[in-house]
Amino acid sequence: MPGLEDLYKEIILDHYKNPRNQGELSVPPAIMEEGFNPLCGDEVKVYVLTDGDLIKDIRIDGQGCSISQASASMMAESVIDKTLEEAKNLIERFKEMMSVHESNMDSEELSEDNDENSLGDLQALKGVVKYPVRIKCATLGWNTFDQIITPGE
Amino acid sequence: MTGSIFESEKIKEDFPLLEREVNGKPIVYLDSAATSQKPIEVIDRMTDYYKQINANVHRGAYHIAELATSEMEETRTKVSRFINASSEKEIVFTKNATEAINLVAYTWARTQLNEGDVILLSSLEHHSNIVPWQQLSSERNIEIRWIPITQDGQLDLSSMDELLADVKLLCVSAVSNALGTINPVKQLTDAAHQVGAICLVDACQSVPHFKTDVAELGADFLAFSGHKMCGPTGVGVLWGRLDLLEKMPPFLGGGEMILNVTSDGFTTNEVPWKFEAGTPPIAEIIGLGVAVSYLEKIGMEAIREHEQNLTSYALDLLNDRFGDDLIIHGPGAAVERSGVISFSYRDIHPHDISQVLDQYGVCVRAGHHCCKPLMALLGVNATARASLYIYNDESDIKVLADAINEVGKIFS
Ligand SMILES: Cc1ncc(COP(=O)(O)O)c(C=O)c1O
């Protein structure tokens, strides 16, 4: 599949086929939000259980394409056991990565940055920006999670 | 196979866009249900219009304004003959089919329907033929009732008698854009007329592909879009029975739709202009006229024959090659459907299917096709949809099948 390597990276396909943190949590004590992608009918449900400032558990439910499913699964894996502050910071950096303009990308050659702000595995999703319609898929779970931890937006 | 009257290779050459490549591969355009490509004569005529006769219509007493007006009005006559209307006065130009349906909802329905009345919709409708009625329903407390579908996506008419009680308006598509089902419009309009209802036919997916005769369909209103029938975007058609149009109040207010305006009020223009407020999409209407001539030149019967043969070829090829891995939604036989092929492949999401197909130059649609209520009935969130037109041929179907096979490899 020439050209699609940037999108369908192995780690993304792995998260799609073996989603982490799948399922539901009982509400309450957990909080649940639903997200929709009106373009393709994808739906995601994010359940979050906090203990004070700590994200104790997070579960993902719903249906969607490989990118939306994998992105939500990778998000769950990277925010569990983090503080709300850390999670917010991660959301911000992830969204920043998703808003990189396509024209800036070739020069950067999708380079993995190695500083302490590295997004780790999440960098694999960077290739999505080459496919603008898929950005909404990649951010669906994140926006829904953001609604839970940043209420009133 | 489909060569005798119909040379799709030659027809392909009429469409400049089909010469391009996508991702280094020749384009295989299989999304004509969303919008068709445009033949060079339509594109050229619209360019010529701007180069030669661009002027506002119906007002100027000078040469080019008269030319623009007469070309635009000629299209009205052509369209009226194309669908066998009894007069060109029955042809109202709108922005698209959606606006045509809304025109009926805002003028006819809002003066004729009241609390307790029922609107009967088919379960195959496009959001364009659902939402305007839901808007009216919530305003007026009008009930919306649905004609159910069978397992294979055909309308289930077994309980029509009960469904028709108190129905004042029937809205049905002639052909489903999501499944390709050809609906028994005449049977439905006959039944609806028996109880005194008015019938609106959404002909978006039929006018480009089948010979259309409004009298034979028994329609009272019929809506379609120019851009799905080789014409440009920005122009659609509402056909309505003259006696109904004459009694309807105007839709939008402004220029063109008036005969006279004083500080005290206005009098409305005659049908159809009373529904065409403001400067119309002149170039687009002229382009639509060329598109109609183009389709007539090929012949609507020949077009249908070609599409039915190609659909039959595609159904066989996909079924043979993929077996149970690939589910084609809707009726099983090509005679019961248009060239719309909606499918699910294993449990791979349609978005991923279309993304990989794009890599091979194949353009198909993925999603709910603006038919969310239908998708819910089918128990899917979305499907992938390949839709055929005059310029497609067997080689396109082979490329599609090969590309689907590649999808399978990535998501194995
Ligand atoms: C059956 C049907 N009805 C209505 C529409 C709406 O057409 P338009 O968007 O041109 O108004 C479409 C097009 O997608 C359609 O396929």
Question: What is the full DSSP assignment across B192-223?
Answer: HHHTT-EEEEE-TTTTTTS---HHHHT-SEEE
pTM: 0.91
Query: Ligand 1: which residues within 6 Å by Cβ?
Result: B 96-98, 126, 128-129, 173, 177, 202, 204-205, 225, 236, 370
Q: pLDDT tens-digit profile of A137-146?
A: 899 999 999 9
Check if the beta carbon of residue B341 is closer than 8 Å to that of residue B387.
Answer: yes
Residue A110 clears pLDDT 70, i.e. is over it: no
Radius of gyration over every alpha carbon of chain B, rounded to an integer in angstroms:
22
Least confident of A84-98, A109-123, B207-221, B297-311: A109-123
Q: How far is the CA of B250 from the centre of ligand 1 (A)?
A: 23
Residue B352 clears pLDDT 50, i.e. is over it: yes
Is B385 or B376 the better-scoring residue by pLDDT?
A: B385
Output the pLDDT for position A114.
45
B411 interface with A at CB cutoff 8 Å: yes
Sheet holding B91-94: strands in order across? Answer: B91-94, B236-240, B221-225, B198-202, B167-173, B118-122, B143-147
Rounded alpha-carbon distances, angstroms, from residue A13 to A72, A120, B30, B352: 13, 16, 27, 11
Kindly determine whether residue A40 and residue B367, on different chains, have CB atoms separated by under 8 Å: yes
What percent of chain B clears pLDDT 70, i.e. is strictly above it? 99
Output the pLDDT for position B2.
43
Q: What is the mean pLDDT of residues B48-56?
A: 96
Rounded alpha-carbon distances, angstroms, from residue B280 to B49, B54, B100: 14, 13, 14
Distance from CA of B126 to the nearest CA of A (A): 15
Residue B381: band (very low, low, confident or very high) from pLDDT cuts 50, 70, 90: confident
Residue A108 clears pLDDT 50, i.e. is over it: no
Q: Cα(B262)–Cα(B32) distance, rounded to whole angstroms?
A: 47
The structural domain count of chain A equals 1
What percent of chain B clears pLDDT 90, i.e. is strictly above it? 87
* Total beta-carbon pairs less than 8 A apart between chain A and chain B: 51
Output the pLDDT for position A152.
67
Residues of B belonging to the active site: 370
Q: Cα(B180)–Cα(A39) distance, rounded to whole angstroms?
A: 21
Q: Cα(B119)–Cα(B198) distance, rounded to whole angstroms?
A: 10
Residue A99 clears pLDDT 90, i.e. is over it: no
Residue B260: band (very low, low, confident or very high) from pLDDT cuts 50, 70, 90: confident
The runs of H, that is alpha helices, within A1-83 are: 10-17, 66-79
Per the prediction, chain A carries an average pLDDT of: 82
According to CATH, the topology of domain B8-30+299-410 is: Aspartate Aminotransferase, domain 1 (3.90.1150)
**What six digits make up the tokens of B217?**
């369909």
- 3-state percent breakdown (helix, strand, coil) of chain B, nearest 5: 45, 20, 35
Q: How far is the CA of B224 from the centre of ligand 1 (A)?
A: 7
CATH of range B43-297; options 3.60.40.10, 3.90.230.10, 1.10.1370.30, 3.40.640.10: 3.40.640.10
Output the pLDDT for position A117.
57
Residue for token digits 């305006």?
A: B261
Output the pLDDT for position B377.
85
Nearest residue (CA) to ligand 1, atom 7: B97
Q: What is the mean pLDDT of residues A26-41?
A: 85
**What six digits make up the tokens of B223?**
């809506």
Q: What is the mean pLDDT of residues B17-37?
A: 96
**Chain centroid to CA A55: how far?**
16
Q: What is the mean pLDDT of residues B37-63?
A: 94
Residue B3: band (very low, low, confident or very high) from pLDDT cuts 50, 70, 90: very low
Instruction: Determine phi and psi for B37, rounding to 5 degrees.
Output: -75, 170
Is B151 or A111 the better-scoring residue by pLDDT?
A: B151
Residue A2: band (very low, low, confident or very high) from pLDDT cuts 50, 70, 90: low
Is B403 or B378 the better-scoring residue by pLDDT?
A: B403
Q: What is the mean pLDDT of residues B387-412?
A: 95
Highest mean predicted confidence (pLDDT) among A102-111, B63-72, B362-371: B63-72
Q: What is the mean pLDDT of residues A126-134?
A: 84
**What six digits make up the tokens of B173?**
């598509």
Kindly determine whether residue A1 and residue B366, on different chains, have CB atoms separated by under 8 Å: no
Residue B148: band (very low, low, confident or very high) from pLDDT cuts 50, 70, 90: very high
Give CATH 3.40.640.10 domain extents, chain B: 43-297
Q: What is the mean pLDDT of residues B263-274?
A: 90
Give CATH 3.90.1150.10 domain extents, chain B: 8-30+299-410
The parent domain of residue A77 ranges over 2-149
Highest mean predicted confidence (pLDDT) among A96-100, B80-84, B350-354: B80-84
